[in-house]
C-alpha cells in the first residue's frame, strides 16, 4: 500500500472503574486510517464507539495501547483533530461568524486573514447571508453545516464524526449527509464516522469497521466498492448502486441484532 | 411583511389580540382603584376602625408631609443604598465562590453539606449576631442583606455552571482550551439566564435582609419607619412605608428585566 497512514491505533484497551466494579469497554483494537478515506464504524449500541473516539481525540487516556497521529502520540498539546457531535454545539449567544471562529480564538489564531477565510468558507457553503444571525434563527441542517465550517477552519488532520446527523429529521439528514460527504471528499479530508445507520455508513464510507458487543473489538473490516450511476460519486446517489443491498445485508448479519 | 398588504382576517386577528391585552390591563388597574375606593369609603362611613387600618387619603397626606419635611428621602435613600450594596456584594461574592467551587471538584464536595445546612437555615436568624459583631449601623445591615442572598447565589450558580453540556466542554477541549478559557467562553456566558433569574430572586432577598436589619438596629430606613409606626400605633406610617417598599422593589425588578432583554437577545 502506498497510501499514507494518518492514524495508527495499536492494541487499544480501555477499562472503566466504578465503585461497583470494573467494565472492560474496549479490547485489543488495532486499526490504521489512511489519508483521504472515510472510515465508518458501526456496532451494537453501548459497545464503546464513543469511548474509542474520545481516546483517538486524546480526551481520554486508554488503559493500554497507543494512538499515533502522523507518527506522533496524541497529547493535549499536539492534537489537531476536528470533532463533530450529535448536537451541533453552537453557542447560542454568539452569531454565526463568532461561532465558527471559536476554535481559532481559543488557539490564539484570530487574525484578520483568518476572519476573511471564515467568511469565504461560510459564503461557499451557502451561509453567507447568515453570518450575523444567531444559531436560533437557523434550521437544524444549517446549524450542522455551521458546525462543519467551525471544524474545517482549523484544518484538522483527522475528523471525528460522532453520529453527526442523528439529531436531524430524516429528510434533512439525507441531504446534509450527502452534502457533508461531498465536502469531505472534495477537501480530501480523513474522517472517522460513527453511526447507527447502516445505510448512511455504506453510502459515506470507503471502509466500514464492525465492532462486537462490549468489550468492543474489531469483528470485521469491509471494503466498500459501489458502482455509482453517472460516474461522479455522491453519497445519496450511491444508495442506488447494485451492491448497496448486498453490503447492507452483510453488515446487518454481522451486527447480529437481537431485540 | 409590510402593514398595508395584510388580509382582512389577519387584521381582525391583530385587533382581537390588542383588545384582549387592553382588557387585561384595564381590569388590573380597575382592581387597584376599586380596592382603594372601597377602603376609603369604608373608612369614611366608619365601617372599619381607621385606627387599625388607616385609609388612603390619610396615607397620602402623611406621604406629602414626609416629603415636605424631607425625612422620606433620607429614610428611603438609606434603605435603597443598603439594599443595592448588599445585593451587589452578595451576588458578586456568591458568583466568585461558585466559580471557585466549579474550579475545584474536591472543594465543591467538601463544602456541599455546609451549603445545604446554610441554605435551609433562615438567614435572618443570624441577624442579631451579625449586628453585634459588625456593628449596629449600615455595615451590620448590609452584611445581614449579604448573608441572605449569598447562599442562594452560590447554589444556583454552581448548579448552572456544572450543568453545561458535557459535549460542549469536550468540543473546546479538542481545540486545546485551558480551564480559564472554558470558564470565560463557555461556562459563564451559558449561565447568563441563570444569573438573571438569581438576580431577580436576590432583589427580594436583599430587601428581606435590609428590613430585618433595620428592625433590629432601629435608627433609620424604611424598616425603621415600619417598626416605629408599629410601636406608636400610627399605622398610617406603616402602611405608607409598605407602599413605598412595594414601589421601589418593583422598580428594581423592572431594571433587571430590562437587563435581561439586553443580554439575552439571542
pLDDT tens per residue across all 259 residues of chain A: 457 888 888 888 889 888 888 888 888 888 899 988 999 998 887 778 888 888 888 888 888 888 888 888 877 656 688 889 888 899 999 999 999 999 999 988 889 998 999 999 999 888 889 999 999 999 888 898 899 899 988 888 889 998 888 888 888 888 888 888 888 888 888 999 998 888 888 888 889 998 888 888 888 888 888 777 665 677 877 787 777 888 888 888 888 776 6
Cβ of residue A63 closer than 8 Å to a chain B Cβ: no
Report how far apart, in Å, the C-alpha atoms of B99 and of each of B87, B179, B197 are. 18, 11, 17
Residues of B in contact with A59 (CB under 8 A): 170, 173-174
By CA distance, what is B183's nearest residue in A? Answer: A106
From the list B168, B174, B266, the residue facing A81 with the nearest CB is: B174
Report how far apart, in Å, the C-alpha atoms of B212 and of each of B78, B122, B140 are. 14, 12, 11
Span between the terminal Cα atoms of chain A, in Å: 40
CA of B175, closest CA in chain A: separation in Å?
5
Residues in chain B, pLDDT under 70: 1-4, 266
CA of B170, closest CA in chain A: separation in Å?
7
HSE-up (13 A, CA, CB side) for residue B74: 10
SS3 at position B45: coil
By CA distance, what is B175's nearest residue in A? Answer: A103
What backbone torsions phi and psi does residue B96 show, to the nearest 5 degrees?
-60, -45
Bridging pattern class, strands A72-73 and A64-69: antiparallel
CA of B28, closest CA in chain A: separation in Å?
35
Residue A5 contacts residue A194 (beta carbons within 8 Å): no
Report how far apart, in Å, the C-alpha atoms of B100 and of each of A47, B87, B95, B170, B183 are. 36, 20, 9, 21, 11
Cα A87–A92–A96 angle (5° rounding)? Answer: 90
This prediction's pTM: 0.84
Span between the terminal Cα atoms of chain B, in Å: 22
From the list B174, B189, B266, the residue facing A79 with the nearest CB is: B174
By CA distance, what is A82's nearest residue in B? Answer: B174
Residue A197: predicted pLDDT: 87
Residue B39: predicted pLDDT: 92
Strands (E), chain A: 5-18, 21-34, 38-42, 64-69, 72-73, 81-84, 158-162, 191-194, 207-211, 218-223
Residues of B in contact with A106 (CB under 8 A): 172, 175-177, 181, 185
- Separation CA B187–CA B163 (nearest Å): 9
- Separation CA B126–CA B132 (nearest Å): 10
C-alpha cell at A215: 468489550
- Separation CA B4–CA A249 (nearest Å): 60
Cβ of residue A107 closer than 8 Å to a chain B Cβ: yes
Residues of B in contact with A79 (CB under 8 A): 174, 176
- Separation CA B46–CA B34 (nearest Å): 18
From the list A77, A93, A103, the residue facing B175 with the nearest CB is: A103
List, in order, residues 6 or more apart from B229 with CB less than 8 Å away: B235, B236, B237, B238, B241
By CA distance, what is B171's nearest residue in A? Answer: A83
From the list B173, B175, B189, the residue facing A107 with the nearest CB is: B175
Residue B91 Cα to chain centre, angstroms = 12
Positive or negative, the CA dihedral B7, B8, B10, B15 is positive
C-alpha cell at B60: 397620602
- Separation CA A142–CA A122 (nearest Å): 11
- Separation CA A144–CA A123 (nearest Å): 15
Q: What residues of chain B, 167 to 206, have a C-beta less than 8 Å from chain A? A: 167-168, 170-177, 181, 185-186, 189-190, 192
CA of A250, closest CA in chain B: separation in Å?
33
Cβ of residue B166 closer than 8 Å to a chain A Cβ: no
Bridging pattern class, strands A81-84 and A21-34: unpaired
* DSSP letter, residue A179: H
Bridging pattern class, strands A191-194 and A38-42: parallel
Q: Which helix (H) or strand (E) is A167 found in, with range?
A: none
From the list A54, A107, A136, the residue facing B176 with the nearest CB is: A107
Residue B100: predicted pLDDT: 96
From the list A92, A103, A106, the residue facing B266 with the nearest CB is: A92
Is A57–B174 a contact, with Cβ atoms under 8 angstroms apart? Answer: yes
CA of A92, closest CA in chain B: separation in Å?
6
CA of A83, closest CA in chain B: separation in Å?
7
Three-state SS for A145-157 is: HHHHHHHHCCCCC
From the list A77, A83, A86, the residue facing B174 with the nearest CB is: A83
Residue A213: predicted pLDDT: 84
Residue with cell 467551525: A150
Residue A9 contacts residue A65 (beta carbons within 8 Å): yes
Q: What is the pLDDT of residues A76-132, one digit of tens each?
A: 656 688 889 888 899 999 999 999 999 999 988 889 998 999 999 999 888 889 999
Residue A100: predicted pLDDT: 93
C-alpha cell at A142: 444549517
Residue B1: predicted pLDDT: 45
Residue B202 contacts residue B151 (beta carbons within 8 Å): no
Q: What is the pLDDT of residues A230-245, one digit of tens each?
A: 656 778 777 877 778 8
Residue B86 contacts residue B145 (beta carbons within 8 Å): yes
Mutate to test the interface with B, among A89, A132, A158 (most CBs of B within 10 A): A89
Residue A126 contacts residue A176 (beta carbons within 8 Å): no
By CA distance, what is A76's nearest residue in B? Answer: B176
Shortest CA distance to A89 belongs to which of A163, A193, A39?
Answer: A163
What backbone torsions phi and psi does residue B39 show, to the nearest 5 degrees?
-60, -50
Shortest CA distance to B223 belongs to which of B113, B112, B144?
Answer: B144
- Separation CA B164–CA B170 (nearest Å): 11
- Separation CA A46–CA A196 (nearest Å): 11
Interface A-B, measured as beta-carbon pairs within 8 A, has a size of: 53
CA of B211, closest CA in chain A: separation in Å?
38
CA of B35, closest CA in chain A: separation in Å?
45
Q: Could you tell me if the ipTM is greater than 0.85?
A: no
Amino acid at each position: 500500500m502506498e497510501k499514507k497512514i494518518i492514524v495508527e491505533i495499536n492494541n487499544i484497551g480501555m477499562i472503566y472503574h466504578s465503585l461497583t466494579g470494573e467494565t472492560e469497554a474496549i479490547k485489543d483494537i488495532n486499526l490504521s486510517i489512511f489519508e483521504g478515506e472515510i472510515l465508518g464504524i458501526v456496532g451494537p449500541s453501548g459497545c464503546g464507539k464513543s469511548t474509542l473516539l474520545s481516546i483517538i481525540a486524546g480526551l481520554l487516556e486508554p488503559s493500554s495501547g497507543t494512538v499515533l497521529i502522523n507518527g506522533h502520540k496524541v497529547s493535549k498539546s499536539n492534537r489537531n483533530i476536528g470533532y463533530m457531535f450529535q448536537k451541533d454545539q453552537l453557542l447560542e449567544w454568539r452569531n454565526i461568524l463568532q461561532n465558527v471562529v471559536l476554535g481559532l480564538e481559543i488557539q490564539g489564531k484570530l487574525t484578520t486573514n483568518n476572519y476573511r477565510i471564515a467568511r469565504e468558507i461560510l459564503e461557499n457553503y451557502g451561509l453567507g447571508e447568515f453570518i450575523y444571525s444567531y444559531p436560533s434563527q437557523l434550521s437544524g441542517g444549517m446549524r450542522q453545516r455551521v458546525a462543519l465550517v467551525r471544524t474545517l477552519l482549523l484544518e484538522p488532520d483527522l475528523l471525528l464524526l460522532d453520529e453527526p446527523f442523528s439529531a436531524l429529521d430524516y429528510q434533512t439528514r439525507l441531504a446534509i449527509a450527502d452534502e457533508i460527504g461531498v465536502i469531505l471528499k472534495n477537501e480530501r479530508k480523513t474522517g472517522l464516522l460513527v453511526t447507527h445507520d447502516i445505510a448512511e455508513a455504506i453510502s459515506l464510507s470507503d471502509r466500514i469497521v464492525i465492532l462486537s458487543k462490549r468489550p468492543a473489538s474489531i469483528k470485521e473490516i469491509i471494503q466498500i466498492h459501489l458502482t455509482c450511476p453517472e460516474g461522479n460519486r455522491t453519497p445519496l446517489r450511491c444508495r442506488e448502486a447494485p451492491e448497496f443491498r448486498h453490503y447492507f445485508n452483510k453488515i446487518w448479519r454481522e451486527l447480529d441484532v437481537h431485540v | 411583511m409590510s402593514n398595508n398588504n395584510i388580509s382582512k382576517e389577519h387584521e381582525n386577528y391583530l385587533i382581537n389580540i390588542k383588545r384582549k391585552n387592553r382588557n387585561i390591563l384595564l381590569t388590573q388597574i380597575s382592581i387597584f382603584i376599586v380596592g382603594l375606593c372601597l377602603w376609603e369609603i369604608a373608612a369614611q362611613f366608619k365601617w372599619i376602625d381607621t385606627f387599625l387600618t388607616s385609609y388612603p387619603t390619610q396615607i397620602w397626606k402623611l406621604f406629602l408631609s414626609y416629603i415636605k419635611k424631607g425625612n422620606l428621602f433620607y429614610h428611603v435613600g438609606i434603605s435603597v443604598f443598603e439594599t443595592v450594596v448588599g445585593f451587589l456584594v452578595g451576588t458578586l461574592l456568591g458568583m466568585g465562590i461558585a466559580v471557585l467551587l466549579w474550579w475545584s471538584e474536591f472543594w465543591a464536595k467538601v463544602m456541599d453539606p455546609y451549603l445545604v445546612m446554610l441554605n435551609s437555615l433562615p438567614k435572618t436568624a443570624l441577624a442579631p449576631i451579625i449586628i453585634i459583631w459588625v456593628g449596629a449601623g449600615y455595615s451590620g445591615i448590609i452584611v445581614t442583606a449579604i448573608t441572605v442572598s449569598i447562599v442562594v447565589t452560590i447554589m444556583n450558580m454552581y448548579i448552572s455552571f456544572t450543568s453545561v453540556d458535557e459535549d460542549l466542554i469536550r468540543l473546546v477541549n479538542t481545540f486545546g482550551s485551558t480551564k480559564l478559557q472554558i470558564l470565560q467562553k463557555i461556562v459563564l456566558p451559558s449561565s447568563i439566564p441563570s444569573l438573571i433569574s438569581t438576580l431577580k430572586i436576590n432583589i427580594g432577598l436583599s430587601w428581606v435582609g435590609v428590613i430585618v436589619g433595620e428592625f433590629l438596629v432601629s435608627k433609620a430606613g424604611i424598616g425603621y419607619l415600619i417598626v416605629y409606626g408599629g410601636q406608636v400605633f400610627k399605622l398610617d406610617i406603616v402602611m405608607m412605608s409598605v407602599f413605598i417598599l412595594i414601589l421601589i422593589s418593583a422598580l428594581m425588578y423592572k431594571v433587571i428585566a430590562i437587563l435581561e432583554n439586553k443580554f439575552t437577545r439571542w
